[in-house]
Amino acid sequence: MSASGTAAAGQIEHMLRQVTPGRYDAYEALLRALADPSSGQVWMLLWQGRSGSPDAQYGNMDVDGLGYAPCVTSAQELSASGWNRGYEVLPVTEVARALYPDRYGLWLNPHAPGGGVGIPWLDLRRVATGLERQPAGPLRLTEPAIEIPQFYALLGQNAHRTPAVRSLRRAWVQPALGAPYLAIGLDVYDSGPGAVDAVRAMMQQSIGAVPEGLAVSTVALSDEYDPVAMWLRAHARPFYDRESHVAPAAPTAGYGYPPQQSAY
């Protein structure tokens, strides 16, 4: 391994040692290192086949009912693991793009004292698509308690004038790191460019009724991998429905990640 490769692996392993339960800042730093093209590579353990062969297959682990592919973070860790089958060295972003659609996470150094660190598939999606595009999990999601009837009324009126919109749902999102915000779930009939522009205009026309300092974001309910969209589909009834108005669902906490005591 080159000196730069050794230094990159050392950076990830240093970050790994900082991750402990509740240290979400250290975990986010680890994700940044894994997503960095200059440092983020891992040795994927192959249960069968060799690197580049058609029959190559990653190993798999089941932890708390969730699937993970095991890997190690350096040639030294590969030697320490005692792994005697095949492996392949890949950028973490490439591995993340391959694993998260199948809802598989990545487990780093499972042979290490303490069992290593698991990256749930939801966070692999963040690594694959951009960490800043999604809130840091685990997320706490509930029905919003803040009273902003003017905004909801105006948004409902504008939605009614936007034919692409079928219904709207809402959630209060509290990320593990960062400020909480109001999420508006968009259920649309049409996802074409014209409909997207119309929905964007609907939000722009409504956002002026939001109190100063309150962050609002939108999420497409059709996104089957977004944890906020998953929670909205499962737990929140529409506050605007083109066909019928339905009362909001009761508050429900937490969604989309392993139990916090074993999330990382």
CA atoms within 13 A on the CB side of 204: 6
- Domain boundaries 3-133, CATH class: alpha beta
φ, ψ for residue 174 (rounded to 5)? -115, 100
**The pLDDT of residue 261 is above 50:** no
pLDDT band at 38, cuts 50/70/90?
confident
Tell me the fold of 140-256: GMP Synthetase; Chain A, domain 3 (3.30.300)
CA distance 47 to 59: 5
In angstroms, what CA-CA distances link 3 with 10, 38, 113, 172?
10, 12, 26, 46
Query: Whole-number mean pLDDT of the chain?
Result: 89
Q: Contact 20/26 with Cβ under 8 angstroms?
A: yes
Q: What is the pLDDT of residues 6-35, one digit of tens each?
A: 556 678 998 999 999 999 999 999 999 999
Q: pTM for this structure?
A: 0.82
Sequence ranges of the chain with CATH classification 3.40.1350.90: 3-133
Pick from 150, 167, 183: which is nearest to 245 by CA?
Answer: 167
What is the pLDDT, as a whole number, of residue 55? 86
Q: What is the pLDDT of residues 83-129, one digit of tens each?
A: 999 999 999 999 999 999 999 999 999 999 999 999 999 999 999 99
- Token digits of residue 89: 């060295």
Torsion on CA atoms 189, 192, 196, 197, rounded to nearest 10: -130
